[in-house]
């Protein structure tokens, strides 16, 4: 039954299968000295994305990659077109951080149909339709639900007030980190009856939008005393909006976030942000290692999980020099 649904999904998405590639397996990868590698980045508008792309470039020479890297400038449609172009250029392997869960499904399916093994890095697609070990080799990345839970745990343990009134700044709508960071945090924090989430709105993982959304939500909910942002860029934007409105982040409002950027660690050191749960962008070395193991015929787990740390006032200064 499951197989019929999956085949149906692939056909519905207009994807054929090339001869010799079984529906149930990912395409093999030859052991070679050099590989033509596609890395289809989604956007380059924040330090996290820039650090991730740099990590792939930095890894290329030592891993024998002839790297074709693109930037979809925040457009899922362009990201799909970029993958099309990489397939036409004869890449051996694809590394793809899918901007959103559903719109990037065609890229995954087309790469498989072209006999190209795909590794999803840092974000995933809708796994009800495309599965690791079948449509793509593996997802390399963090546990975004756990990141949200850890942010909630820190807040529960460190909030000293009677009532926590939370505004949530969500990441890109339809992206796996936005979906999962919301679920992890909301489910956990609402088990503590001191807390209420009065507004939850997307800031698209961007600093400017985080600032603008915070300005608007602050007018609607002046009583807010906690901000949970799905990434540091939006948290920094929110801090700017709050300070402009005369609020004192870290004193009269607690800021909780995810990523571990340099600006966030500095905000923690300055007393403006309470916590940031790490989400590492340094995927290049892991991508090289997993790709080579796959080429050698090793069984790769469907999820190669990245372990994250938590940065607070206790350790932010120790890690700021390695931050991006």
Residues near ligand AHR, by CB under 6 A: 46, 48-49, 122-123, 177, 205, 231, 233, 258-259, 279
Whether residue 226 contacts residue 167, with contact meaning beta carbons closer than 8 Å, is answered with yes
Considering beta carbons, is residue 29 or 264 the nearer one to ligand AHR? 264
Cα(302)–Cα(31) distance, integer angstroms: 21
Whether residue 52 contacts residue 122, with contact meaning beta carbons closer than 8 Å, is answered with yes
DSSP state letter for 11: H
Supply the minimum distance, in Å, between the C-beta of residue 24 and ligand AHR: 29
* 305: number of Cβ within 10 Å: 12
Supply φ then ψ for residue 193, to 5 degrees: -75, 5
Question: What DSSP element (H or E) covers 153?
Answer: helix 144-158
Supply the minimum distance, in Å, between the C-beta of residue 196 and ligand AHR: 25
Considering beta carbons, is residue 79 or 279 the nearer one to ligand AHR? 279
Considering beta carbons, is residue 159 or 205 the nearer one to ligand AHR? 205
Closest CA to 68 of 46, 49, 90: 90
Supply the minimum distance, in Å, between the C-beta of residue 219 and ligand AHR: 26
Considering beta carbons, is residue 122 or 126 the nearer one to ligand AHR? 122
Write out the two tokens for 128. 């009800």
Considering beta carbons, is residue 82 or 308 the nearer one to ligand AHR? 308
Considering beta carbons, is residue 35 or 205 the nearer one to ligand AHR? 205
Considering beta carbons, is residue 52 or 92 the nearer one to ligand AHR? 52
Supply the minimum distance, in Å, between the C-beta of residue 85 and ligand AHR: 23
CA dist list (Å): 255 to 157, 159, 234: 14, 11, 11
Closest CA to 87 of 63, 70, 102, 99: 70
DSSP state letter for 46: S
Question: What DSSP element (H or E) covers 61?
Answer: helix 47-63
Closest CA to 40 of 73, 65, 13, 62: 73
CA dist list (Å): 153 to 147, 156, 192: 10, 5, 10
Supply the minimum distance, in Å, between the C-beta of residue 149 and ligand AHR: 15
Closest CA to 151 of 176, 125, 139, 169: 169
Closest CA to 77 of 102, 57, 56: 102
Considering beta carbons, is residue 36 or 78 the nearer one to ligand AHR? 78
Supply the minimum distance, in Å, between the C-beta of residue 252 and ligand AHR: 26
Supply the minimum distance, in Å, between the C-beta of residue 4 and ligand AHR: 32
Supply the minimum distance, in Å, between the C-beta of residue 305 and ligand AHR: 14
Write out the two tokens for 283. 């995927």
């Amino acid at each position: 039954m499951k197989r019929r649904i999956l085949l149906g999904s692939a056909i519905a998405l207009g994807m054929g299968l090339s001869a010799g590639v079984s529906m149930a397996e990912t395409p093999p990868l030859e052991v070679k000295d050099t590989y033509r590698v596609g890395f289809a980045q989604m956007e380059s508008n924040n330090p996290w994305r820039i650090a991730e792309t740099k990590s792939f470039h930095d890894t290329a020479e030592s891993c024998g990659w002839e790297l074709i890297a693109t930037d979809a400038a925040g457009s899922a449609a362009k990201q799909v077109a970029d993958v099309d172009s990489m397939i036409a250029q004869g890449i051996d392997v694809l590394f793809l951080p899918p901007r959103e869960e559903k719109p990037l499904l065609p890229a995954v399916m087309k790469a498989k149909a072209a006999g190209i093994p795909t590794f999803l890095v840092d974000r995933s697609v809708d796994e009800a339709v495309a599965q690791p070990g079948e449509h793509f080799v593996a997802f390399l990345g963090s546990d975004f639900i756990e990141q949200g839970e850890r942010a909630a745990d820190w807040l529960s343990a460190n909030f000293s007030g009677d009532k926590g009134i939370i505004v949530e700044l969500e990441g890109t709508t339809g992206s796996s980190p936005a979906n999962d960071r919301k679920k992890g945090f909301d489910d956990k924090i609402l088990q503590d009856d001191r807390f209420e989430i009065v507004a939850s709105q997307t800031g698209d993982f961007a600093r400017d939008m985080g600032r603008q959304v915070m300005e608007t939500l602050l007018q609607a909910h002046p009583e807010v005393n906690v901000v949970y942002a799905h990434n540091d860029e939006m948290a920094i934007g929110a801090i700017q909006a709050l300070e402009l409105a005369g609020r004192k982040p870290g004193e009269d409002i607690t800021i909780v976030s995810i990523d571990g950027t340099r600006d966030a660690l500095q905000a923690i050191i300055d007393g403006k942000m309470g916590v940031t749960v790490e989400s590492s962008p340094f995927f290049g070395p892991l991508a090289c290692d997993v790709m080579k193991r796959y080429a050698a015929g090793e069984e790769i787990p469907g999820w190669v999980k990245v372990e994250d740390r938590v940065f607070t006032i206790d350790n932010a200064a120790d890690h700021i020099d390695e931050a991006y």
